[in-house]
């Protein structure tokens, strides 16, 4: 079974731009969560989607948004990028039976 | 805060020794998951332990959970150089994992 995939793996953007990251969960998983990892703040929860609905949201500004499609793939968007948005963005998918969350390799975003 | 707090922050051991990492959390949880991360890469899932379980094993890994003390521990036996990584515990509240700063484990060969 293929794992969680994230694209792109690396991104370089400049302040003020926007960015879209993509996540494909493990086949059969309907829940997708997003996390941000920075050296200063560590791993922080952004949001979770289940069956195309946002089920949970962390404490991030409205510039961070996401969505989930009918095939469970998810995207997250960050608008008006700031230097502090430079981070590793991790996506996790969860199965319904055992509740384990499996993470993808991440997208490393650098904002210049 | 709800987050897991790992102890110690860093641990350096010789290959073949056992490594124990501890985690504490503040409020009641649904379950608790342990992860490994190598050099800023993605998180590798190690073990999930539910709130009604006390101990789980997976290969060289042993996880315990004490809900009365709100603590968990991860034991890696017969460590290898390849076990060098950061280890995180993540208590789960609802569908949200809350991570601590992690324990950096270095296994010297």
The pLDDT tens digits of the residues spanning B9-55 come to 999 999 999 999 999 999 999 899 999 999 878 899 999 999 999 99
B96, A48: Cβ pair inside 8 Å?
Answer: yes
Q: For B69-95, what is the mean pLDDT?
A: 95
pLDDT exceeds cutoff 90 at B6? no
pLDDT exceeds cutoff 90 at B78? yes
pLDDT of residue A99: 86
Q: Answer for the pair A52, A68: CB distance below 8 angstroms, yes or no.
A: yes
Alpha-carbon gap: B41 to the closest alpha carbon of chain A (Å): 6
| Band of pLDDT at residue B2, cut at 50, 70 and 90 | low
pLDDT exceeds cutoff 70 at B92? yes
Q: Answer for the pair A9, A107: CB distance below 8 angstroms, yes or no.
A: yes
Alpha-carbon gap: A17 to the closest alpha carbon of chain B (Å): 24
- Cα-trace Rg, chain A: 13
Q: For A22-29, what is the mean pLDDT?
A: 96
Instruction: State the DSSP string of A31-78.
Output: EEEEEEEETTTEEEEEEEEETTEEEEE-S--TTEEEEE-TTS-EEEEE
pLDDT of residue A29: 94
Q: For A40-56, what is the mean pLDDT?
A: 95
Cα-Cα end-to-end distance for chain B? 38
| Length of chain A measured in residues | 112
Given CB atoms, is B63 within the 8 Å cutoff of chain A?
Answer: no
């Amino acid at each position: 079974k293929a794992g969680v995939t994230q694209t792109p793996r690396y991104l370089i953007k400049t302040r003020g731009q926007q960015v879209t990251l993509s996540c494909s969960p493990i086949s059969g998983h309907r829940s997708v969560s997003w996390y941000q990892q920075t050296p200063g703040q560590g791993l922080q929860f952004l949001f979770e989607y289940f069956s195309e609905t946002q089920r949970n949201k962390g404490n991030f500004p409205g510039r961070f948004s996401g969505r989930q499609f009918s095939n469970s793939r998810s995207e997250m968007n960050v608008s008006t990028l700031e230097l502090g948005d430079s981070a590793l963005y991790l996506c996790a998918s969860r199965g319904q039976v055992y509740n384990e969350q499996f993470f993808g390799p991440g997208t490393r975003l650098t904002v210049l | 805060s709800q987050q897991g707090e790992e102890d110690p922050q860093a641990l350096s051991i010789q290959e073949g020794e056992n490594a124990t990492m501890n985690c504490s959390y503040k409020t009641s949880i649904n379950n608790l998951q342990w992860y490994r991360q190598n050099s800023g890469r993605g998180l590798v899932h190690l073990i999930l332990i539910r709130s009604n379980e006390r101990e789980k094993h997976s290969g060289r890994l042993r996880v315990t959970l004490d809900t009365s003390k709100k603590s968990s521990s991860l034991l890696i036996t017969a460590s290898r150089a390849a076990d060098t990584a950061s280890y995180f515990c993540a208590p789960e509240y609802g569908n949200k994992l809350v991570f601590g700063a992690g324990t950096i484990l270095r296994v010297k060969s």
